[in-house]
Amino acid sequence: MTDPMEAIKQTYFQECEELLLAMEEGLLALENGEADSEVINAVFRAVHSIKGSGGAFGFEDLVQFAHGFETVLDHLRSGKLDAGGEVVKVLLRAGDMLADHVAAARKGTHLDKETGRDISEALAALSGTDADDSGEAPADFEGLDFAPMVIAVEEAPASAGWRIHFAPHATLYANANEPALLLRELARLGSVKVTADLARLPPLETLEPATGYFAWDIALTGDAPRDAVAEVFEFVLGHCDLTIEMADAPTAEIIPLPVLAPLPDAPVAEKKESAPAADAPKQSIRVDLDKVDRLVNLVGELVITQAMLSQRVAECKIPRASSVGNGLAELEHLLRELQESVMAIRTQPVKSVFQRMPRLVRELAAQTGKQVHLVVEGETTEVDKTVIERLGEPLTHMIRNAVDHGLETPQERLAAGKPEEGTVTLSAEHRGGRIVIEVSDDGRGIDRARVKEKAVERGLISPGTALSDEETDNLIFMPGFSTAKEVSNISGRGVGMDVVRRNIIDLGGRIVIGSTPRQGSRFSLTLPLTLAVLDGMVVAIGAQTFVLPLTHIVESLKPKPSDIHAFGRGRNLLNVRGAYVPLVDTAAILQAGDTSQADQGVVILVESQGTGRLALTVDAILGQRQVVIKGFEDNYRHIEGIAAATILGDGRVALILDVDGIVTRCRAQLGDFNELRPTGS
Amino acid sequence: MTEHTSTKEVGGRRQFITFRSGEQEFGADIMAIREIRGWTETTPLPHAPDYVRGVINLRGVVLPVVDLKARLGLGRTETNPKDVIVVVQSETRTIGLLVDAVSDILTITGGDIQPTPELAREADTAFVEGIAVLSERMVTILSLHRLIASLVGTQEAQAA
């Protein structure tokens, strides 16, 4: 396989991904009863394009299957079939199957002949052909034309010609336009007869040389479309009076052109879109992600350089109101805008992840025998691509959890007075500079008694521990916890919600549960919009400056000496309103030099993964800011307790702390913290 | 990738940048050197070996700085503003080397580089590719590849 061919193939698979998404979207619309011809057409086009180009690469299985699928869609399109419930179900499964075929082709493998047989047969039954008959897919070889382009077809009636009145204003000349050239351009469209209209020409003594007095009447014969005529004058709109009329119908439409600077395409806008596409797709280009990353990095550098420059200028005692100060303020403003725009390039709607979920739910429903209706909301919410890429796994897990554990069987639901069909809602929205994703179900809710029992069984809590409802719910995030009564194929393989929580925290997010017995549960994920920046608290520890991720911080406080109690070997506990929390000498852990005593500095209460709450001593809180995350592990190695680095406004590097790593460090230095756990949450 | 493949060889000739660190003169292949910049205060890294002086901001890249003298077991460099950081690259990794001063560019034919003497201590030879002898001077040619790999590859066990 030569490289160019491989590249084309890759492009094909990328196109396929998009087409499959479009198909899925259409099929779901059909499922919701929006069976208009536009939707069916969109699905048909998607399947057809996948088939056509697949043929070019010799993916026979795929082409054969797509052909059968396409035949049914064609019947649907021509009205031979109705998009009823059963038909749509078959189509949805066929869509999943087609995706599998594409995936197999991508990996260079083939699907097992039997896997899709029932679907092929169902399709064949719908199209009224024999399943095996669809074998000879017509080789409509369409080359590499993956995406059907919508070309606007001009509906202009064949006219005998146009009568044009063209009266330039002075501004037309002032902008260096030459009427003669425009007239010559017109002459290319057909034969023209130009008559100069000298009515406005004043007597010589009052003539202003810089003013335009001439006007022209042009009779254009030929079958040039109206747009072509209008296009000639495209660049002088607003600088002339222009009327274009049909020659043989003097009363026909006259476009009164607005005199003052209209948009250049104003006359073109009324062009009839005769193509079937509902709304023209937005223009987009494919860009190598590396290029975008480079851009993001460069802009990050620019912002830092600008901050350094501002600081230097301030040090030079140049007043803010001076021209230099103003210039800098302007620069800062522009840079911020530039940074936002560049970040926006990387954002994508969460749709690409959300769209994988309906299929998952269908499969889960089939496996568990439950009836599930998935409601998806806010799928156009945009978030950084890196976040999207890492969202799939936790979301999949949460949906599985909702269907498998949350929802009851149809019998149980009926007995509980609920509709047979359970509802799982997946939603996304922007809230306060972050994205909030919720997975909720209307199932039985978390069985708290059972959760407690299980936690005791697993030795996660001691029997008789008093826990609030919220604390009980949170037990399911403990490592090694699984409530599934028997380990099912779907969830409850031990890698339960603790993995989900781990993933979310790694993304800089948080996960919160809400549950009402018999009414359902709700999992809310709060995630940053991008992984490139982080909200942090800048703190001084010893002689250095560090950044503490805000997601870990619970509160900061200034302890009284009486709140600090010695405990065990060289350890201290801090009394936080009655709860005793391990106090960590952060400067010692980070080897950051001498620090003030804990009772003089500030203490930041943080939430760690394994140990619950922890109090970190710091010397001072310097502020809160968004920092750009810079890895250094490529050039160095991982340091326990340090997540990454960033560059502060003065150009110095500051290290970003990893709370969980600090806990590990503490353990290594001071022995296990676990004995202190009951003091945590 | 060995360093030879990245070397600009003109008829078996290689170019080196030489720099002083302590009493000795070292050379590094010119193709591995990205830039030379003045000393800037580093941000120390916790739990790092003593020869890692911390990290600096090199136009947005967080760059670890290694004290060459300390790395070779010759004692810590007492930094002063005249010190120099030589930014070197091996494969995809980039680090800064803290040295006293950059002295020269040398062009040496391959044959003029002698292997390190057998009786040298391991610590002296671990990061040495060979020795170039020029009339009056002796230049120790560094193996940047090994020097950088030693920084990244190992776990911090040795540091802790």
CA angle A354, A11, A529 (to 5 degrees): 35
Average pLDDT over residues A579-606: 79
CA distance to partner chain B, nearest, from residue A636 (Å): 5
A645 SS3 class: strand
pLDDT, tens digit, for every residue of B96-143? 999 999 988 988 887 778 887 776 666 667 888 888 888 778 888 898
Average pLDDT over residues A469-485: 72
The b/e string for A183-220 (b: 16+ C-beta within 10 A; e otherwise) is beebeebbebebeeeeeeeeeeeeeeeeebeebbebeb
Question: Is A359 in the same domain as A503?
Answer: yes
Burial of A260 (0-12, 13-18, 19+ CB in 10 A): exposed
Neighbours of A573 (CB within 10 A): 19
Q: What is the pLDDT of residue A129?
A: 60
pLDDT at B86 over 90: yes
Amino acid at B2: T
Specify the pairing of strand A544-549 against strand A653-657: parallel
Whether residue A169 is contained in a domain is answered as: yes
Q: Rounded to the nearest 5°, which phi and psi values hold at A438?
A: -120, 135
Q: What is the pLDDT of residue A599?
A: 57
Q: Shortest CA distance to A423 belongs to which of A356, A477, A377?
A: A377
CA A66 to chain centre: 29
Q: Shortest CA distance to A299 belongs to which of A358, A259, A344, A339?
A: A339
Average pLDDT over residues A437-458: 86
Task: Give chain A positions within 8 Å (CB) of B92.
Answer: 634
Q: Shortest CA distance to A162 belongs to which of A244, A105, A104?
A: A244
pLDDT-derived band at A281, boundaries 50, 70, 90:
low
Residue A484 contacts residue A492 (beta carbons within 8 Å) = yes
pLDDT-derived band at A149, boundaries 50, 70, 90:
very low
Question: Is A106 in the same domain as A170?
Answer: no
pLDDT, tens digit, for every residue of A625-635? 778 888 887 78
Q: What is the pLDDT of residue A251?
A: 43
Number of domains chain A is built from: 5
Average pLDDT over residues A326-343: 86
Task: Give chain A positions within 8 Å (CB) of B151.
Answer: 635-637
pLDDT-derived band at A202, boundaries 50, 70, 90:
confident
Q: What is the pLDDT of residue B120?
A: 61
Q: Which residue in chain B is spatially nearest to A633 when comparing CA positions?
A: B152
pLDDT at A490 over 70: no
Q: Which residues does residue B35 pair with via DSSP β-bridges, in sequence order?
A: B87
Q: What is the pLDDT of residue A486?
A: 45
Domain end position, chosen among A484, A501, A528? A528
Distance CA A376, CA A355 (A): 9
Domain end position, chosen among A496, A528, A560? A528
Distance CA A352, CA A380 (A): 9
pLDDT-derived band at A482, boundaries 50, 70, 90:
low
Question: Is A310 in the same domain as A383?
Answer: no
Q: Which domain holds residue A441?
A: 351-528
Any idea which of A160-164, A343-347, A523-527 has the lowest mean pLDDT? A160-164
Q: Which residue in chain B is spatially nearest to A645 when comparing CA positions?
A: B62
pLDDT, tens digit, for every residue of A108-139? 777 776 777 777 788 887 777 644 444 444 44
Q: What is the pLDDT of residue A463?
A: 80
pLDDT, tens digit, for every residue of A353-397? 898 888 889 888 888 888 899 999 998 888 888 888 888 888 888
pLDDT-derived band at A670, boundaries 50, 70, 90:
low
Average pLDDT over residues A101-107: 84
Q: What is the pLDDT of residue A137?
A: 43
Question: Is A501 in the same domain as A381?
Answer: yes
Amino acid at A581: V
Question: Is A546 in the same domain as A642?
Answer: yes
Q: Where are the domains of chain B?
A: 13-153
Starting at the edge strand that comes first in sequence, how are the strands of the sheet with A161-168 ordered? A191-197, A215-221, A161-168, A240-246
Q: Which residues does residue A541 pair with via DSSP β-bridges, in sequence order?
A: A544
pLDDT at B70 over 80: yes
Q: Shortest CA distance to B52 belongs to which of A642, A497, A487?
A: A642
Q: Which of B43, B64, B153 sits opposite A655 (nearest CB)?
A: B43
pLDDT-derived band at A236, boundaries 50, 70, 90:
confident
Amino acid at A642: I
Q: What CATH number did the domain enclosing A382 receive? A: 3.30.565.10
Question: Is A64 in the same domain as A112?
Answer: yes
Specify the pairing of strand A642-647 against strand A653-657: antiparallel
B92 touches chain A (CB under 8 A): yes
A592 touches chain B (CB under 8 A): yes
Q: Which residue in chain B is spatially nearest to A545 when comparing CA positions?
A: B43
Q: What is the pLDDT of residue B36?
A: 93
- Could you tell me what percent of chain B has a pLDDT over 90? 29
Question: Is A369 in the same domain as A484?
Answer: yes
Q: What is the pLDDT of residue A440?
A: 92
Q: What is the pLDDT of residue B148?
A: 87
Distance CA B104, CA A502 (A): 53
Q: What is the pLDDT of residue A278?
A: 46
pLDDT at A240 over 70: yes
Tell me the average pLDDT of chain B.
Answer: 81
Task: Give chain A positions within 8 Å (CB) of B41.
Answer: 652
Question: Is A521 in the same domain as A540?
Answer: no
Q: What is the pLDDT of residue B95?
A: 93
pTM: 0.55
B41 touches chain A (CB under 8 A): yes
Architecture category of domain B13-153 in CATH: Beta Barrel (2.40)
Question: Is A368 in the same domain as A516?
Answer: yes
Average pLDDT over residues A65-91: 80
Any idea which of A135-139, A514-518, A535-539, B28-32 has the lowest mean pLDDT? A135-139
The DSSP secondary structure of A377-434, one letter per residue, reads: E-TT-EEEHHHHHTTHHHHHHHHHHIIIIISPPHHHHHHTT--SSEEEEEEEEEETTE
Distance CA A380, CA B21 (A): 59
pLDDT at A143 over 50: no
pLDDT-derived band at B28, boundaries 50, 70, 90:
very high
pLDDT at A8 over 50: yes
CA distance to partner chain A, nearest, from residue B10 (Å): 30
Residue A311 contacts residue A652 (beta carbons within 8 Å) = no
Higher model confidence: residue B19 or residue A530?
B19
Element of type H or E holding A364: helix A357-368
CA distance to partner chain A, nearest, from residue B100 (Å): 22
Q: What CATH number did the domain enclosing A199 receive? A: 3.30.70
B43 touches chain A (CB under 8 A): yes
Distance CA A514, CA A445 (A): 9
Tell me the average pLDDT of chain A.
Answer: 77
ipTM of the complex: 0.82
Q: What is the pLDDT of residue B85?
A: 94
| Alpha-carbon torsion (A542, A544, A550, A556), positive or negative | positive
Starting at the edge strand that comes first in sequence, how are the strands of the sheet with B84-90 ordered? B33-38, B84-90, B93-99, B61-67, B52-58
Q: What is the pLDDT of residue A455?
A: 82
The DSSP secondary structure of chain B, one letter per residue, reads: --TTTTS--BTTEEEEEEEEETTEEEEEEGGGEEEEEE----BPPTT--TTEEEEEEETTEEEEEEEHHHHTTS------TT-EEEEEEETTEEEEEEESEEEEEEEEEGGGEEPPPTTS-HHHHTTEEEEEEETTEEEEEE-HHHHHHHHHHS-GGGT-
Task: Give chain A positions within 8 Å (CB) of B153.
Answer: 637
Q: What is the pLDDT of residue A140?
A: 45
Question: Is A364 in the same domain as A503?
Answer: yes
Question: Is A565 in the same domain as A633?
Answer: yes
When scoring B41, B55, B95, B151 by the number of chain A Cβ atoms within 10 A, the one with the most, hence best to mutate, is B55
Q: What is the pLDDT of residue A481?
A: 73
Name the B residues in 10-39 with CB < 8 Å from any A CB: none
Distance CA A238, CA B120 (A): 86
When scoring B42, B43, B94 by the number of chain A Cβ atoms within 10 A, the one with the most, hence best to mutate, is B43
pLDDT at B8 over 50: no
Question: Is A328 in the same domain as A266?
Answer: no
